[in-house]
Structure 1
Amino acid sequence: MVEHKIFAGPKVRRIRNGLGATQTAMAEALGISPSYLNLIERNQRPLTVQLLLKLASVYKVDLEELQSDGAGAAPLREVFSDPLLAGEIPGDQELVELAQAAPNAASGVVKLYRAYREQTKRLSELAELLAREGHQTALAGARLPMDEVRDVLEAQTFHFPAIEAAAEGFHASLDAGDDLEGALKGWLRKQHGIVVRALPVHVMPNLRRRYDRHSMRLFLSERLSPFDHLREVAMEVCLLAFADDIRLELDALPLTSSEAKRIARFELARYAAHALMMPYGVFLAAAQRARYDIDVLRSRFRVSFEQAAARLVSLQRSGSVGISFFMMEIDHAGNIIRRAGGQGFPKSGFGGQCPRLNIHATFAQPGQILVEPVVMPDGAAFLTLSRTLEGPQGAFQERLRRTAVLLGCDLALAGDMVYRESLPKSVEIGPACRLCERQGCLSRAEAPVTRPLGLDEMTAGLSAFDFQ
C-alpha cells in the first residue's frame, strides 16, 4: 500500500511553539529523533500517516487542518484578485505557501486589505454626500461593518428569545450554586477539554482573550476585572453550547456583509453571556423587588454596573416585560461607543449628543450615579441615570480607559424605580446642537443648521451661536 505523504512543517512548528515545547521534547513524545523533527519542520521530510495519528493522540491536533493543502489561502485569493494586485501572483501555490509558512502575516495582509476596502467605500459615500450639497444631514446606508451592525441592533428591540431560552435552560442544568464561574470552567474542561488561564500583561499586552485550540486553553488577560473575567468565560461557553441559537438570531438580522455578521456574532455572544450570568426570569423578579436599583442587582448577581445595566435593557420578553430602558456609552470625547434599546429617545445623526445630558458630567464625578429627568423640545420626558465605567486595569503611569454609560426610560414608566424619589428639576435638552432650536443655551457647541445666526454689532447673546 502506498503511504500518503504530507508536508506540513510550518504547521507542526506552530503547534510546538504554541505548547512551549522544545524540538527534543516533542520528538521524544512522538517517538522520533530531534533531527528528524527538524527536517519535518523545514518541509524536508513528510508527515506519514503514523505520525499524523501520533500527533492527534498526543496533542489533540485537528488532522483535517494538517492535511489541508491551503484552505487558509482562500482569503488571500480574494485579496490578490483585486484589480490593483492582479498579476502579482502567477498561481495559487505561492498563496498556499504563504498561508502555511506565515499564517499570522497572511492574516495581517487580509485585515489590511479589508480595512483598505472599507475606507475606500467610506470615502466614496462621503464624496456622494458632498455631491448632494447638503440635501441629507446624515450618512445613510451601510457604511463600515461596525456602523451597519450598530444601526441594525439599534433599530430593533434589544431582546433575542432563542438565546434567552437556551441560556435559562443551560443555567438550570448547570446547577452552579454560588460559583457560576467555577461551574462554567468545569463544563469547559469536562465537555471540551478547555482549560482557562489568566496571563500576565507582559505575556499578552494587547489582548483581552486568546483561545489556543491546539493546546485547548483559553487565555485571559490579568487586566480584566473579575466581572469581565466571568463574562469572557461565559462567552466561550455560549459560543460552544448555544451555537445554533446564536446562528438563528444572527441569520434574522438584515446584515449585508460577512464582516458585519462576524461583528454581530460577537455582540450576540456577549448578549448570551449576560443572559447566562443573569437568567431572565430570576433577574426580572429581582429587578422588580429591588425597584431597579442597579447597585443592589450588581451585588446580588456579582456582576459589574455595566453588565447589570445592559441586562435591564434586554428585559423585553413577550408576556414578561420589564421597564423599557435605553442605554448609551460614550468616552471622554463624546464618541458614542454603543447604543441599545433606543426606542423613543432621540438619536442624533448629525453631530454629537446634547452636552446638557448628565452623562458628560459623570467624568468629573467618577463612580457616582447621577440621576436626572430631562425634557425634549416636543415635551417628551425621560429619566436618565449616568455613571462612569472603568476599563481594563492599566499599568503604572498608563492612562486608564474610562467611559460613561447612560441608562434611561420614559419618565412615565419610572414610577416603580428607586431613582424616582427626590428627583431634581427637569433639564431641557435637545437632539443635537446642529438640530436644536432652543435659544439662549449656554451649552450650545455648534450653530443650528435650521436657523440663521442672529449676531450683529449692537447685540450679543449668551452663546456665540445665537440665532434669530
Structure 2
Amino acid sequence: MSENKIFAGPRVRRIRNGLSLTQTAMAEALGISPSYLNLIERNQRPLTVQLLLKLAAVYQIDLAELRGQASDSLGELRAVFADPLLSGELPGDQELIEIAEAAPNAAMGLIKLYRAYKEQGSRLKDLTSLLSGQDQAAALSGARLPMDEVREIFETRPYHFARLDAAAEAFHQRLAPGDDLQTALKDWLRRDHGLAVRTLPIHVMPDLRRRFDRHSLRLFLSERLSAEDQLCEIAMEAAHFAMPEALAEELAALPLTSGEARRIARFELARYAALALMMPYGTFLDICRRVQFDIDLVRVRMRVSFEQAASRMVTLQRSGALGPPFFLLEIDHAGNRLRARGAAGFPHRAFGGGCVKLSLHATFAQPGQILVERAEMPAGASFLLVARTTDGPRSGFNERVRRTALLLGCEAGQAGETVYAAVPAPPLAAGTACRLCERQGCLARAEPPVTRPLGLDEMVAGLSVFDFQ
C-alpha cells in the first residue's frame, strides 16, 4: 500500500527558521541529506509518514501544524479579493491557497493593507459627513480594525472582571509566596509545568520584551524590563496555566466579532489577571484605604510600579468591597491616546480627556512629579485628577526613552477618601475637547467648535484665532 504523502514545504521552512536552524543541522537531526530537505521545503518532495513522526519526535511539533489547512488567513484573503476593485483578478481559490501556503507573511501583509484601506475610507466618510454642516453627528462607521473594536469595549464597560479576581486570589493563596512572588511563580512554573524563565541581554533579544518558546518550554524576558514589569510578564504566563477557565469565561462574555479581536482581548485579560495576582483584591483594597489611595505608598507596599498600582485602582468595583470609581487615561508626547479605562466605563461624555490645559500634558515637562488638580467642565461636572509620567522599557545609549503620561481621576464628590482631596488645587476651567467646547476666550483653544460659527470681524480680534459667535 502506498503511504500517505503531504506537501508542506513552507511550513517545514517556517518551523526551521523559528528554531534558528540551518538546513544542514535539521537534515542531520532528521537523518536525511540537506539536498533532500531543500527539495521538501520547495514542495518538490513530499513529507512521508516516517518523516512526520521524526519531526514530531525531534522537535516536539504538533502534527496538526503540518497536516492543517493552508492558512488561517485564507478566509480573510477571500474577503480582500471579493472587493469590487479586485473581484476579477483571481479566477478561483487555488491561487489564494498557494499565496497563503507559500508566503503567509506576505498574505498577512496584504490583509493588513486592505484593512487600513477600508478603515481610511470609513474615516474619510465620517469626516466628510461631520464637516458637511449637518445638524446631527456623523454615524459611526461599522468597519473598524480589531484593535479599535477591543479598545471601544474596554473603554465603555466597567474595568472589573470578577472571575479573574476570584481565581487570582485563590491561586495566590495556594501559592503562599510570602514576600517574594517572583521566585514563587518561577518555582511553580518549573515544578508544575516544566517551564523555565530566563532574562536575556538586549543584544540577544533587541526588539522583544518577552518570548515564549513552547518547544523548549522557556520564557525569555528582556533585560530592558524593570523588576516590576518582569514580574508582570511572569504572572501573565502563570495566569494562562493557573486560571484558563476564568480567562475563557471572561473572554466569551465580551461581544467580539473576529478571531484577531479575541486574541487582543485575551492579552488584555491576561494582563488584568497578572495585576490581580500581583495585587490580590482584598489585600490591595485594604492597603489603599489605610494610606488613603496614595499611589506612591501603595506601590512601595505592594512592590509594584506606579503604573501598575494606578491601573489596579481602576478595578476596585467588587460588590460589597467598592473603592472610589476611578478612571485612567494614558497618552504619549504627541497626545495620542494609548489607554482609557474606567470603573463605570471611561467618562467620554462628561470628561473627554482631550483638553490641552489638563496637567496630564504638563507632566512631560516635570517627569516623575505628581500633579494634582480639580477640573471644572462646562456642563458643571468636577473631577479630581492625579497625573504623572511613567517610563517604558529601559533604553540604551542613543535611544530615546519611551515616556508616557498617566492620569487617574474620579468625580470630585467621590474622591473624599483619597489623600489627594486635601491638596489645595484651584479649579481649572477645562473642556472635553476643543471641537466640542464652547468656552469663550480660551488661550489654549486649538480648533473651532463644530457647534458654533466662527466670529470673523475685521474690527475686533479675540484671544484665539478660533473665536466664535
Fold match (TM-score > 0.5): yes
Answer yes or no: is the 8 Å Cα contact 1:280–1:315 preserved in 2: yes
Q: How does 1:249-328 map to 2 (within 5 A)?
A: 249-328=250-329
Counterpart position of 2:243: 242
Corresponding residue for 2:389? 388
Partner residue of 1:116? 117
- Gap change, CA 1:110 and 1:213, over 3 Å in 2: farther
Report the secondary structure of 1:144's partner residue: coil
Is 1:70 matched with 2:70? yes
- In the alignment, what sits opposite 2:14? 14
Alignment of 1:188-227 (within 5 A): 188-227=189-228
Aligned partner of residue 434 in structure 1, secondary structure: helix
Q: Which residue of 1 aligns with 2:30?
A: 30
Asked whether 1:101 is paired with 2:94, we answer no
**Alpha-carbon shift at residue 377 of structure 1 (Å):** 3.2
Count of residue correspondences: 467
2:82 matches 1:49: no
Superposition deviation, residue 458 in structure 1: 5.2
Q: What's the offset of the Cα at 1:318?
A: 0.8
- What TM-score does the superposition give when structure 2 sets the normalisation length? 0.87
SS where residue 436 of structure 2 aligns? coil
Cα gap change, 1:79/1:51 in structure 2, threshold over 3 Å: closer, same or farther? same
Shift of 1:361: 1.1
Deviation at 1:95, TM superposition (A): 3.5
**Hey, what's the Cα distance between the residues in 1 that align with 2:196 and 2:115?**
33
- Return the offset for 1:367: 0.4
Task: Rate the CA distance shift 1:435–1:33 in 2: closer, same or farther, 3 A.
Answer: closer
Deviation (angstroms), 1:375: 2.2
Distance (Å, rounded) in 2 between the aligned partners of 1:373 and 1:56: 62
Q: Is the 8 A contact 1:15 1:214 kept in 2?
A: no
Cα distance in 2 for residues equivalent to 1:134 and 1:365: 42
Query: Amino acid of the residue matched to residue 65 of structure 2?
Result: E
Deviations 1:433-468 (A, max 9, x none): 333333333333333444555564555444444455
Alignment RMSD = 3.1
8 Å Cα contact 2:443-2:464 kept in structure 1: yes
Residues in 2 aligned to 1:183 and 1:211: alpha-carbon distance in whole angstroms: 19
Bigger shift: residues 180-189 or 404-413: 180-189
Contact kept in structure 2, 1:362 and 1:404, CA below 8 Å: yes
Q: In 2, distance between residues paired with 1:370 and 1:240?
A: 40
Matched to 2:85, the amino acid is L
> How far is 1:405 from its partner?
0.8
**Cα distance in structure 2, aligned partners of 1:423 and 1:349:** 23
Whichever residue aligns with residue 305 of structure 2, its letter is S
1:113 CA drift (Å): 2.6
What is the CA distance between 1:140 and its match in structure 2? 2.8
Contact 1:5 1:48 in 2 (8 A): yes
> Given the superposition, is the C-alpha separation of residues 418 and 340 from structure 1 closer, same or farther in structure 2, using an over 3 Å criterion?
same
What is the deviation of 1:328?
A: 0.9
Offset, 1:370: 0.6
Query: For residues 312-391 of structure 1, what are the structure 2 equivalents within 5 Å?
Result: 312-341=313-342, 343=344, 347=348, 353-391=354-392
Cα distance change of structure 1 residues 240 and 99 upon mapping to structure 2, 3 Å threshold:
farther
214 and 340 in structure 1: CA distance in 2 versus 1, 3 angstrom threshold: same
Report sequence identity in percent: 64
Q: Distance in 2 between matches of 1:143 and 1:337?
A: 20
Distance 1:22 1:182, change over 3 A: farther
CA–CA distance in 1 between the matches of 2:413 and 2:254?
31
DSSP 3-state at the match of 2:232: helix
Higher mean C-alpha deviation, range 399-408 or range 76-85: 76-85
Assess, with a 3 A threshold, how the Cα gap between structure 1 residues 275 and 402 changes in structure 2: closer, same or farther.
same
Partners of 1:341 and 1:175 in 2: how far apart? 31
Closer, same or farther: CA 114–365 of 1 in aligned 2, 3 Å: same
Counterpart amino acid of residue 120 in structure 2: Q
CA displacement 1:379-423 (0-9 Å, x = unmatched)? 332211000111233332233222111101122222222223342
Secondary structure of the equivalent of 1:359?
helix
User: What is the one-letter code of the residue matched to 1:393?
Assistant: R
**Structure 2 CA distance, aligned partners of 1:89 and 1:213?**
38
Change (3 A) 1:285 1:138: farther
Displacement of 1:161: 1.1
